[in-house]
Structure 1
Amino acid sequence: MATLKALVVDDASFVRDLVKRTLRQRFPVIETTDAQNGRRAQSLMSRTTFDLILCDWEMPEMSGLELLQWMRKQPQYEKVPFIMITSRGDKDHVVEAVREGVSEYLGKPFSPDGLSKKIIKVMGRKLKDVMDRSGKSMEGPADAFKESAALLTQKRESAPAPAVPDVRPAASPLLKKGGAGGEKPPASRGAMSAASVRFADYTLKSVVKDINLTEVRVIARSDQQFPGILDQAVVDIEVAEDQMARLNGYVQQLQAVDKRQDTDFVSVTIRFVDEDPKKMEELSRFIARFRAGAR
């Protein structure tokens, strides 16, 4: 029977479902409630006291940072763990979140193990005691409690800052004439635009083949590691000079570019799940530039 309560906040229902599924499977003593934005989360938190908040940064109506700032001013939430789950990993944003009282920072896309470790780290002995009393065992990293043991004896202000994930897009070998093995990339309808598609443990270097407001199709060399269908992804696209759009999505389709079994290129379709109007505006600008290059 669940005795702890967690609130999952994200404008993408696909991401909320991933987080809730991980908690159900690995921490059955945690009951989950979800909200599609910070404003809705604020309303729920005013009526119910939660033991853990897992929240996205970029959302319409109220961002994750704004929710965190409000939360830390409420007496009942001064010390409640808050995990920011977001594709924004640049140093300035991490520092800002730490300054406002974030407990941990988890970059998208994340693995169930990565999320589980963060939850164990911030909830510590409280979670372990509840699991022990319920007779449930932890699924996942066996050493997660050992890794966080030192944190249980430290004061909050002395805890180390969360690691900063590297979200800079790498240059794609597909953009180099002839590629690594002399093969040229398949012809594109528009101007070639580099895109880094990030998964939980690796980055797929690619170029944009086609894009609209709901999905992007990229072409990648076949000698790279590839994801599975429905794997969560973050697509980094340069929408302007020194400005990146980080779009959350999942793998909808994998397909060989040609009919040969030893094809040099693979097409990957990523379905977007973001509902943030700001991200859609950035994406619209990129699409306009991309299609203009086809003329």
Structure 2
Amino acid sequence: MAMLKALVVDDASFVRDLVKRTVRQRFPVIETTDAQNGKRAQSLMSRNAFDLVLCDWEMPEMSGLELLQWMRQQPQCKTVPFIMITSRGDKDHVIEAVQEGVSEYLGKPFSPEGLSKKIIKVMGRRLKEAMDSSGKSMAGPADAFKESATLLTQKREAATVPAKPGAQSASSSQPESAPAKKPAAGKPSMNLASVRFADSALKSVVKDINLTEVKVVAKRDQVFPGILDQAVVDIDIGEGEMARLNGYVHQLQAVDKRQDTDFVSVTIRFVDEDPKKLEDLSRFVARFRAGRA
């Protein structure tokens, strides 16, 4: 029987399902509720009490940062642990989230282990006591609490920027997978693409792209993902700006019809529903197709 409640907030249903499945499998004492954006989450928190919030940054109607700012002003939500799960990993965004009272920061794509450790870290003994009292054991070959024992006992390093009253420090503020660096301002590269996964990244070339998916080609000597693995595609939209599109691996295919092919084609299906991201993607697709004409 669930004893704790978590709210999962992300505009992509695929990502919400991944987070909920991880929480359900690793922490059966936590019951999850989900919301597609900050506005919906705000409405749910106005009527219900939650022990943990796992939230995306970029969402329509109300962003994760705006939701965090609102929470830290509400007496009933002021100290609720808040984990920001996002493809934004540059230093400025991390500092901004820490200043607003984020508890932890996890980069997309994330692994179940990475997410579990963040949850253990922000919930601490409260989660352990709930697990112990329920008699439940952790899923997987090893006990996640034993794996992360140091996270519960280590001394948190002082934050480099002041946090607002009631905020918890985000001592491990860099995400699991750092995004590609922004290119210099100027004409965007229409061919090169960086595709990030939980434990690796692919240097690749865009073969084709539309509003639902991108097909890239990469050399075989790299580490490749599995089908349905999370992915973040970084595309240069010009003027030094990057669009970070969330998706999953839909297809892996040899480029040549022979076993010793040197290149592999990877198709990533997009899952974002944020209008701003879709607008950026539309502009990129238009320029990509114009460049091939």
Tell whether 2:275 aligns with 1:263: no
Deviations 1:81-120 (A, max 9, x none): 0000000001101100000000000000000000000000
Amino acid at match of 1:233: A
Asked if the contact 1:208–1:216 (Cα under 8 Å) also holds between the matched residues in 2, the reply is: yes
Relative to structure 1, the CA distance from residue 158 to residue 19 in structure 2 (aligned partners, 3 Å threshold; closer, same or farther) is: closer
Deviations 1:44-82 (A, max 9, x none): 000001000000000000000000000000101111100
What is the aligned counterpart of 2:180 among 149, 168, 171? 168
Q: Where does residue 279 of structure 1 map in the other structure?
A: 277
Q: Where does residue 217 of structure 1 map in the other structure?
A: 215
**Could you tell me how far 1:146 is from its partner in structure 2?**
2.5
Relative to structure 1, the CA distance from residue 159 to residue 108 in structure 2 (aligned partners, 3 Å threshold; closer, same or farther) is: closer
Deviations 1:8-31 (A, max 9, x none): 000000000000000110000000
Separation of aligned partners in 1, 2:92 and 2:250: 33
Q: Where does residue 72 of structure 2 map in the other structure?
A: 72
Q: Where does residue 121 of structure 1 map in the other structure?
A: 121
What is the aligned counterpart of 1:149 among 150, 153, 172? 153
* C-alpha RMSD over aligned residues: 2.0
5+ residue gaps, structure 1, are 172-190
**Could you tell me how far 1:241 is from its partner in structure 2?**
2.9
**Could you tell me how far 1:231 is from its partner in structure 2?**
0.3
SS in 1 for 2:126: helix
- Identity between Structure 1 and Structure 2 (%): 75
Separation of aligned partners in 1, 2:154 and 2:124: 10
Q: Is the deviation greater in 162-171 or in 200-209?
A: 162-171
**Could you tell me how far 1:170 is from its partner in structure 2?**
9.7
Q: Where does residue 99 of structure 2 map in the other structure?
A: 99
Q: Where does residue 42 of structure 1 map in the other structure?
A: 42
SS in 1 for 2:276: helix
Q: Where does residue 24 of structure 2 map in the other structure?
A: 24
Q: Where does residue 193 of structure 1 map in the other structure?
A: 191
SS in 2 for 1:275: coil
**Could you tell me how far 1:193 is from its partner in structure 2?**
1.2
Asked if the contact 2:182–2:240 (Cα under 8 Å) also holds between the matched residues in 1, the reply is: no
Correspondences of 1:231-246 after superposition (within 5 Å):
231-246=229-244
Asked if the contact 1:169–1:196 (Cα under 8 Å) also holds between the matched residues in 2, the reply is: no
**Could you tell me how far 1:143 is from its partner in structure 2?**
2.1
SS in 2 for 1:77: coil
Q: Where does residue 175 of structure 1 map in the other structure?
A: none
Asked if the contact 1:98–1:161 (Cα under 8 Å) also holds between the matched residues in 2, the reply is: no
Asked if the contact 1:169–1:195 (Cα under 8 Å) also holds between the matched residues in 2, the reply is: no
**Could you tell me how far 1:161 is from its partner in structure 2?**
5.2
Q: Where does residue 134 of structure 2 map in the other structure?
A: 134
**Could you tell me how far 1:168 is from its partner in structure 2?**
1.6
SS in 2 for 1:201: coil
Asked if the contact 1:215–1:270 (Cα under 8 Å) also holds between the matched residues in 2, the reply is: yes
Deviations 1:165-205 (A, max 9, x none): 5212599xxxxxxxxxxxxxxxxxxx851111100011111
**Could you tell me how far 1:157 is from its partner in structure 2?**
6.1
5+ residue gaps, structure 2, are 159-165, 184-188
Deviations 1:222-261 (A, max 9, x none): 1111111000000011111311010000000000011011
Q: Where does residue 81 of structure 1 map in the other structure?
A: 81
Relative to structure 1, the CA distance from residue 126 to residue 20 in structure 2 (aligned partners, 3 Å threshold; closer, same or farther) is: same
Asked if the contact 1:3–1:31 (Cα under 8 Å) also holds between the matched residues in 2, the reply is: yes
Relative to structure 1, the CA distance from residue 30 to residue 71 in structure 2 (aligned partners, 3 Å threshold; closer, same or farther) is: same
SS in 2 for 1:92: helix
Separation of aligned partners in 2, 1:125 and 1:264: 50
TM-score (norm 2): 0.90
Asked if the contact 2:23–2:30 (Cα under 8 Å) also holds between the matched residues in 1, the reply is: yes
Q: How many residues align?
A: 276
**Could you tell me how far 1:149 is from its partner in structure 2?**
1.5
